[in-house]
């Protein structure tokens, strides 16, 4: 068992998959000579050459379109878009082509491609570079949208994404790149796409998150355990397909739920989770589902304002305690 960063887990997995399958190749802005804006592709150009690690112009619509064509012809491109904010330039290619080709052509051709892209606030990158707009893509049938929260999950889910025959949007929160976790040596496990994980068992309340918020949810649960509050943590891992069964099963056990997300509250992922709980566990609920999300503002640049806009351990802890207090459960 090795302890490595989320960043290293991604790099190691890309390298291993390129060795495993010669049809896997990488393309994106500055991923070759510069080795990627976040150094995920460090060393890969030197090892695999320009044929399989392709630097592209600053033209997201163009290189995402090229990847779609390559995937239709049997290759397995892994595209790096420097930030999810730049994916908006390629949104027509992603939504109207990658997601729809299999269905529109009656299954005659598939689009086995991965789009890796980081997002999220907390890095003082300003309003146009700090968004979590995965909701745009999670809304679209034909796409799969993954959001791993740990190095081990990043590795197993990236393997699954690369080997999948459908287009996959692979979300990487910037706040996770330097986080560390255990990854089994020689691990070649492939995650099941569309399967959430109960990462901590509990009995008092269910706390649901994905990506960075799944990590924070674990920290909240650890903090509240010291106060005698038993929190069950559900890491969504996959936003499309969404594992409603695991969510509902957990809430039926605990009777209460809080959803934490790094995007805006209105029309957010949490709204879909709350609706799923209402449909599948209404008779088991002791209190309304609470949602914790970022402030409904463009992300501020100033560090104190940016910090205040993002959900935190304190804001999630408060939501958990208020939910339990509302149903008469004693909290510290």
Give me the active site residues, please. Answer: 60, 129
CA–CA dist 168, 232 (Å, integer) = 28
Helices (H), 21-149: 44-48, 60-72, 91-93, 101-104, 134-138
Residue pair 214/149 in contact by the 8 Å Cβ criterion: yes
| Residue 27 host element (H or E) | strand 24-28
CA–CA dist 195, 174 (Å, integer) = 23
Helix (H/G/I), strand (E/B), else coil: 262: strand
Closest listed residue to residue 134, CA positions, set 7, 264, 255? 264
- 171 Rama sector, left if φ>0, alpha if ψ -120 to 50, beta otherwise: beta
Chain-centroid distance of CA 103 in Å reads 25
- The token pair at 297 is 């503002």
- The token pair at 190 is 């492939």
């Amino acid at each position: 068992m090795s302890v490595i960063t989320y960043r290293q887990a991604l790099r190691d997995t890309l390298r291993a998959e390129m060795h495993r399958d010669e049809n896997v190749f990488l393309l994106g802005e500055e991923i070759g000579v510069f080795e990627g804006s976040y150094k995920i592709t460090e060393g890969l150009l030197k090892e695999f050459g320009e044929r399989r690690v392709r630097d592209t112009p600053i033209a997201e619509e163009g290189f995402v379109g090229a990847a779609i064509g390559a995937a239709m012809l049997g290759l397995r491109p892994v595209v790096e878009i420097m930030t999810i904010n730049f994916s908006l330039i390629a949104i027509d290619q992603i939504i109207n082509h990658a997601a729809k080709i299999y269905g529109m052509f009656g299954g005659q051709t598939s689009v086995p491609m991965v789009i890796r892209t980081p997002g999220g606030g907390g890095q003082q990158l300003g309003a146009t570079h700090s968004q979590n707009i995965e909701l745009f893509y999670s809304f679209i049938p034909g796409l799969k949208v993954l959001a791993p929260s740990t190095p081990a999950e990043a590795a197993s889910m990236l393997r699954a994404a690369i080997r999948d025959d459908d287009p996959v949007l692979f979300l990487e929160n910037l706040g996770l790149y330097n986080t560390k976790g255990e990854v089994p040596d020689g691990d070649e496990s492939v995650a099941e796409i569309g399967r959430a994980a109960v990462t901590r068992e509990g009995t008092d309340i269910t706390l649901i998150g994905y990506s960075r918020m799944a990590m924070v949810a674990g920290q909240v649960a650890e903090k509240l355990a010291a106060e005698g509050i038993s929190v069950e943590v559900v890491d969504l891992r996959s936003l499309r397909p969404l594992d409603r069964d695991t969510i509902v099963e957990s809430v039926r056990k605990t009777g209460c739920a809080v959803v934490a997300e790094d995007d805006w509250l209105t029309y957010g992922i949490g709204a879909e989770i709350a609706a799923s709980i209402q449909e599948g566990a209404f008779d088991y609920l002791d209190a309304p589902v609470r949602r914790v999300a970022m402030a409904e503002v463009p992300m501020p640049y100033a560090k104190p304002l940016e910090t205040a806009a993002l959900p935190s351990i304190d804001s999630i802890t408060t939501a958990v305690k208020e939910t339990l207090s509302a149903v008469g459960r004693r909290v510290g």
